[in-house]
Amino acid sequence: MAGKLQFTLDDYQKAAIKWRKDLLMLPIIGISDTLQYMTGRPGIRYKENVGTIYADAQFAPYKATRSGDVNLKLDFRTLETHFGNVVAKFEPNSAISTLLGTGATKGDGQMTTPTALHVLAQIAKGLSEHLNDAMWNGVRNANGDTTKDLFDGFDTITEKEIATGAISLENGNYGKFDEPVTSANAVDAAKEILFSLDPRLRSQELYMFCSQDFADKYNEAYALTHAGLPYNDKYDQVCVEGSNNRLHIIPLYNKLDSKFIHICPKSNMLVGYDQMSDAETVMVKEFDPFILSYIATMFFGVQFESIDKRRFKVIELASEATTAGKD
């Protein structure tokens, strides 16, 4: 197909079949700016139990008659991926012109002629932005028409677990700020979070998932409170002070307007998808004369592997409205 500037329906259909696995993977690759801090779980269709088993068995001074029960705590959760689809209409001639105009097919500094695969790849990559947007605030609605309706995001799961009491002050996996975080108190706020962690959680390599606004305020506060110190030689602080470089600050654009800060190891943040079965498809069909439809299906969902205080903590931020009500 190289060298052509117009393609038939057959060209697109053959590209969809030949490059099916690659096209299905592109939306997952496209969320790598978030997924790099989480654990991808391929091969998940519908539901799979995940979690941790804790046991309180222990060594003691030797006794030939020693015997004891092992009390197992099963911390199982369900990672559910939901089946979704997309039917995206596109006009092939306009798509080719757009690719030529933007240089989207440039490689090694040279312009290459667009192919049917290039067009389909751009559509597939575009799906990832909506997946990323829904990663935290998605709310499952089986009758919905957007990616945010496909699955419950991490913030939504958090709210549901708070409502049931599974995430609570009593369980040690929840905290709440009474005052808004500002550029004056952000360092103290971050250290308050650090010091509140269960010692077993604090001993791990951790990510603090937050908004860019929180990270900016932390950097501003750090610059204000550490001005003139010889080791304060950069503005962007990547770890919370006092954490032995174990609590990494991870600002994400899709955390904008989130009322939560999550602290977890990478292994606790699960992103489920399939990519391994024949249940997911990519195809191209004619919709109208000069108009084609990109049709694809996929499984997707997220979950915490555990919300035990040894693996997880969430901090609820104070809202401006709540603070104003105190005045």
> Does residue 180 carry a pLDDT above 70?
yes
pLDDT for 55: 63
Which residues are within 8 A (CB) of 112 and not within 5 positions of it... i.e. 6 or more apart?
Answer: 2, 105, 106
Are residues 281 and 245 part of one domain? no
Are residues 283 and 234 part of one domain? no
| DSSP helix/strand/coil, 215 | helix
- The band of 238, judged by pLDDT with boundaries at 50, 70 and 90, is confident
Are residues 16 and 125 part of one domain? yes
**DSSP per position, 129-143:** HHHHHHHHH----TT
How far is it between the farthest Cα atoms of the chain? Answer: 85
For 76, what's the count of Cα atoms within 13 Å in the CB-facing half-sphere?
6
pLDDT for 122: 81
pLDDT in tens, 251-268: 999 999 999 999 999 999
pLDDT in tens, 110-139: 345 457 777 888 888 888 889 999 999 999
> Does residue 67 carry a pLDDT above 80?
no
Q: State the burial class of residue 223 (Cβ atoms within 10 Å of its Cβ: 0-12, 13-18, 19+).
A: middle
> Does residue 204 carry a pLDDT above 80?
yes
Question: What letter would DSSP give residue 318?
Answer: P
**Higher pLDDT among residues 235 and 34, named by residue:** 34
Interatomic CA distance for residues 273 and 42, integer angstroms? 5
Do 76 and 89 touch, CB atoms closer than 8 A?
Answer: no
Least confident of 73-82, 176-185, 188-197, 198-207: 73-82
pLDDT for 223: 84
Question: What letter would DSSP give residue 107?
Answer: B
| Span 147-169, average pLDDT | 96
Least confident of 5-9, 176-180, 280-284: 5-9
pLDDT for 105: 44
CATH code of 227's domain? 3.30.2320
Are residues 188 and 263 part of one domain? yes
Are residues 312 and 239 part of one domain? yes
Pairing verdict, β 247-251 and 260-264: unpaired
CA–CA distances in Å: residue 3 to residues 12, 112, 116, 199: 15, 9, 11, 62
Are residues 108 and 222 part of one domain? no
**DSSP per position, 5-63:** S---HHHHHHHHHHTHHHHHHHHHHTTHHHHTTSEEETT--EEEEEEEEEE-----S--
Buried b (16+ CB within 10 A) or exposed e, 55-82: eeeeeeeeeeeeeeeeeeeeeebebbbb
pLDDT for 90: 78
**Higher pLDDT among residues 254 and 280, named by residue:** 254
Q: State the burial class of residue 136 (Cβ atoms within 10 Å of its Cβ: 0-12, 13-18, 19+).
A: buried
User: Is the residue at 62 inside a domain?
Assistant: no
pLDDT for 89: 83
Are residues 223 and 191 part of one domain? yes
Domain with 240 in it: 170-268+308-326
pLDDT for 1: 40
What average pLDDT does the chain have? 83
Are residues 22 and 120 part of one domain? yes
pLDDT for 205: 96
Least confident of 114-118, 201-205, 239-243, 304-308: 114-118
> Does residue 278 carry a pLDDT above 80?
no
Interatomic CA distance for residues 253 and 275, integer angstroms? 26
pLDDT for 119: 80
| DSSP helix/strand/coil, 299 | strand
Are residues 117 and 250 part of one domain? no
> Does residue 157 carry a pLDDT above 60?
yes
* Counted domains in the chain: 2
| Span 240-247, average pLDDT | 92
Interatomic CA distance for residues 150 and 142, integer angstroms? 7
Are residues 192 and 234 part of one domain? yes
Structure tokens that stand for 145 in this block: 């028409």
| DSSP helix/strand/coil, 260 | strand
